[in-house]
Amino acid sequence: MRLLSSRERSAVEIQQRLRQEGYDAETVHVTLDRLQSSGLQDDRRFAEGVAASSIRSRGLASRVIQSDLRRRGIDKELAARAATRSPEEEEQTARALAQKRAGQLSGYPRDVQVRRLGSFLARRGYGAELCASLVEEALGPPARD
């Protein structure tokens, strides 16, 4: 119960923690069954919460969220369902991130802005084509000499 009092956790996270604390496999299994049957632990709810939070707070792309969920012990299919958004929604999130970040880079030379904004979007999991088009959209076309 103490593990779930601070935040939602996946079944695998709870299993690992209980095993670290020295509980035997049978105790871990019974404890997880109880938590799940009482509704205190639910991998679907956990996955949806992590996905929503990752999009809202960090603007991550679906593929990065799926990878994070898989690392936390969520099965592939559930991770995909929880994290997948339409391409339009994903692009809209990336566009908002690009606009916000571009404003923070305004004091730098253009080549630095381009490099930093592109790598910022790429680290959040967006594809190269989308990053390039959003960088140009956010910063405008290059100045002509």
Nearest to 126 by CA among 68, 62, 76, 67: 62
Residue at which a domain ends, from 35, 61, 83: 83
Residue at which a domain ends, from 42, 57, 83: 83
Residue 137 pLDDT class (50, 70, 90 cuts): very high
Same domain, 16 and 40: yes
Cα separation, 36 vs 30, whole angstroms: 10
* Reported pTM: 0.83
Q: Residue 46 in contact with residue 9, Cβ under 8 Å?
A: yes
Same domain, 28 and 69: yes
Looking at residue 145, what is its pLDDT? 56
By residue range, what is the domain housing residue 73?
2-83
Half-sphere exposure of 111 (CA within 13 A, CB side): 0
- Residues 13-56: pLDDT tens digits? 999 999 999 999 999 999 999 999 998 999 999 999 999 999 99
